[in-house]
Structure 1
Amino acid sequence: MKKVLGVAPRHPGLWKNPAFSKTPAEVIHTLKSRDHGLNELRAHAAVLAQLSQQGRWIVLINAPNIGYKQVLANAEVRMDRVLLVRARDEVEALWAMEKALTSGTSSAVVTWSTPLDDRDNRRLQLVAKSARATGWLIENVSVHKHEEVENNYCLPLLPATNLPAVH
């Protein structure tokens, strides 16, 4: 028969002192943008330049044609360490972001996307716990999915004054 000494919990995960627990330096920043992320990329280009000196990849996922090459070159990002990924859809883009953040071969991951739903935001929170790189998610807030649907399906009704009657 085993005896439990004292009132100490038996699970080793509960023995950790929260004051000494490691906080991850790698996080995922969500940035809202109305100009496809050009200003946000300029604001973080110096950080990307420092991260590119580590010799690991700077991954750009679904980067729009906004002149990002010139912005990164002006900030002295090592262009031989920039990896451009084109995903077919947002599911594939988020999967690529997840893999790039957790693989250990990237120092930074920048992803362009439309605003994410709660499920995808939660998925990124879980990825952030095991991320080995810093991530930026640039959400283009000038395009909303529900507005696209409304604009595509809301047609004005025309008066039926000159239409022939069909029986």
Structure 2
Amino acid sequence: MNNLIGSSPRHPGLWQDEAKLSKGVSRMPSHTQGVQELQTLTPELARLSQQGQWIVLISPPNIGYKQMLAQAGVRMDRILLVHAKDEIETLWAMEKALTSGTSSAVICWAPMLDSRDNRRLELVAKSATALGVVIESGSDHIAAQLPSVADVHVNQGSLFSAFH
């Protein structure tokens, strides 16, 4: 049972793709409607857009994101824009985009999430084929308890997935 095939252990649970293990959902509190957070993500989004999968933007505010992404070298033909009518539809769209297998990145703009929505995203992150980012608007005392943009580690090749 302890035999190795090449340098790989024989137990199938250990064969999982490392990129898949690093996928998930990050929350980024914002007081700039996501401008600073999106600027932080643009180099990775540019790289991911070259892979041919979708970069999904859900309910982005009018912050000049098109110009920001284009200037960073993001392929604009790989951007999928979703306009949701409310927070429930926004989170549903994010869930579907994260688990579809066709996106390389999913970014949504939402108000501060409650514990129920946080739990929902934790469960979705387990089956996500992409790493998603929720840019949250909210109060200072709550945002201070959450990880900042500088604390969020952007993993090469695993930030997002595509969605059709």
**TM-score, length-scaled by structure 1:** 0.72
Equivalent residues of 1:30, 1:136 under 8 A apart:
yes
Query: Across the two proteins, how many residue pairs are aligned to each other?
Result: 128
Partner in structure 2 of residue 69 of structure 1? 66
Looking at structure 2, the residues matched to 27 and 101 of structure 1 have their Cα atoms a distance apart, in angstroms, of: 9
Q: Which has the higher contact order (CA 8 A, sep 6+)?
A: 2
What amino acid is the match of 1:69? K
Looking at structure 2, the residues matched to 91 and 143 of structure 1 have their Cα atoms a distance apart, in angstroms, of: 24
Partner in structure 2 of residue 48 of structure 1? 45
Residue 70 of structure 1: how far off its partner (Å):
0.9
Residue 143 of structure 1: how far off its partner (Å):
9.3
Residue 129 of structure 1: how far off its partner (Å):
0.4
Partner in structure 2 of residue 152 of structure 1? none
Looking at structure 2, the residues matched to 34 and 21 of structure 1 have their Cα atoms a distance apart, in angstroms, of: 41
Q: Which runs of 5+ in 1 are unaligned?
A: 1-15, 145-167
| Higher Cα Rg, which structure | 1
Q: Which runs of 5+ in 2 are unaligned?
A: 1-10, 142-164
Looking at structure 1, the residues matched to 23 and 41 of structure 2 have their Cα atoms a distance apart, in angstroms, of: 15
Partner in structure 2 of residue 153 of structure 1? none
Q: 1:75 to 1:119 in 2, by over 3 A?
A: same
Of 96, 99, 102, the match for 1:102: 99
Of 82, 92, 97, the match for 1:85: 82
**TM-score, length-scaled by structure 2:** 0.73
In percent, how many aligned pairs have the same letter?
A: 59
Q: Which runs of 4+ in 1 moved over 2 A?
A: 20-23
The RMSD of aligned alpha carbons is: 1.9
User: Residue 26 in 1 paired to residue 23 in 2?
Assistant: yes
1:105-148 per-position Cα deviation (integer Å, ceiling 9, x unaligned) = 1110000000000000000000000000121100012599xxxx
